[in-house]
Amino acid sequence: MTDTLLETAVANWGPRFTANGVDASDYQRITASLTEWSGWCAAWSEGARDYLALADAALARGQNRSAGEHLARAATYFHFGKFLFVHAPDEARAACDAATAALTRALNFFEPPATRLTIPFDGAHLAGVLRTPTGRGPFPTVWLIPGLDSTKEELREVERSFLDRGMATFACDGPGQGEVEWHLPIQPDWSSVGEAVLRALRASDDVDDDRIGVWGVSMGGYYATRVAAAGLPIRATVALSGPYDFGASFANLNPLTQRAFQVRSHTSSLEEAALRARDFTVEGLAADIREPILIIMGAKDRLFPASDGQRLANETSSQAELITLANGNHGCANVINHHRPYAADWMASQLSTPIE
């Protein structure tokens, strides 16, 4: 393997893929077949189509639950085909549309149930999936925010942690993410995003207005922190591997991530993107966080230093708990059992949800 971009992708993202719905054998098989980055999206899209075929076969047998699982996995594979494939927008857009279509089909067969919601925002629509646990609502609800290159299609396993503990989940693409990236650029201030999402959630009979939390990963951790600092009716926040100051880390990011930020921030060059990245900071804002926040960082994170978590914890005006996992990589995807159950239990406690 001599392609630097391909080497970067394979070396960095294996744990993340397998922690979020990609079969480990599929990961090895698909990546082993590649010799250059230009073939990445096509290879993962082909893998996704294998699961679409499995879903169709399951439906023909009347096995709806299996069909939903296959469709959800297909959506995840299409997503991972385009997640950093920003140099070929037409190919990436086709994979994004295919991911959306597969997940939308899958929702009909999810257990617990799932509903697609679209929220008008800034001339476009934010797109998300609301899932509710078994039983009767309204339910305490956790808004799940993906990161720079993640989307709602990547969050099935995260949803499971909260659903199993009696909480509803809302995984939503925001500006510059997933379906919405084709219409709106990434933005540093998420107060208006938070207002729109919370308005929609609080209008749902399934959501307990007074018990809403927010969880975010990577840049989503930053966005969750900005929502928490905006004085919105959020009871608790989990920030997983989020940057304190994205601009300070920009020069050290791998070229795939830098380029993705450039494209999704609608900047014209890496130099302009580096300047724009400076706007993504919680400096001077962390003190506005009044509700409990759980901050989770990986000591071996190569994107955002673990010290970012300590700085955030020191500056909040709330009850802040910091967990730094010694072997954790970015997103702590290689140690999910050391933080996902704990974060879900922590959120359940903050939202006054009985934990069995």
Catalytic site positions: 218
* Rg (the chain; Cα; Å): 19
Beta pairing partners, 323: 296
What distance in Å separates the CA atoms of residue 155 and residue 306, rounded to the nearest whole number? 23
213 vs 351: CA distance, rounded Å: 7
The Cα 214–Cα 269 span in angstroms is 33
* Paired sense of beta strands 114-121 and 293-298, if any: unpaired
Could you please report the per-residue DSSP string of 86-114?
Answer: TT-HHHHHHHHHHHHHHHHHHGGG-SS-E
Q: Which two tokens stand for residue 101?
A: 């279509």
Q: What is the DSSP letter of 312?
A: H
Task: Give every CB contact of residue 297 below 8 A, 6+ residues apart in sequence.
Answer: 241, 304, 306, 308, 309, 322, 323, 324, 325, 328, 332
Give the pair of three-digit tokens for residue 198.
């919370």
Q: Report cis status (omega within 30 of 0) of the bond before 138.
A: yes
Element (H, E) at 323: strand 320-325
Rounded to whole angstroms, how far apart are CA atoms 198 and 160? 21
- Identify residue 94 by its one-letter amino acid code: A
Q: What is the identity of the amino acid at 68?
A: G
